[in-house]
Amino acid sequence: MQFIPLENKEQLNKIKSAKGYTVIFKHNTTCSISKGVRDRLEQDAGILHEVNSVYFLDLLKHRDLSNAITENFGVPHQSPQLLLIKDGRCTYNEWGYDISAKATTQVLRS
């Protein structure tokens, strides 16, 4: 599965209005923990069959979008962080080492 760079508020509006599941992965490009989590998520992302799109947010370039995510979805900022959005609402979020495609898939199926 390809990660789509999340770079502007128009994309965020598209995510908010999309039907079905979308994932946003917030990543600090200078953090080794965040890099390891991203590598693992990319490696295992193929099991996220129910997800329509996976967006990648570079926190150092787009902190304003992270703030907009907090406002739009009511989820406090963390890094790294994964948000599962369904029909415009955040139904699950995880941060740090607990992020995994497997855990997200389990949430999708419950």
At 54-100, the pLDDT tens digits run 999 999 999 999 999 999 999 999 999 999 999 999 999 999 999 99
Domains of the chain: 3-109 (3.40.30.10)
Q: Give percent above pLDDT 90 in the chain.
A: 95
Tell me the average pLDDT of the chain.
Answer: 95
Give pTM, 2 decimals.
Answer: 0.94
d(CA 105, CA 96): 17
Assigned token pair, 86: 């369904």
d(CA 18, CA 35): 28
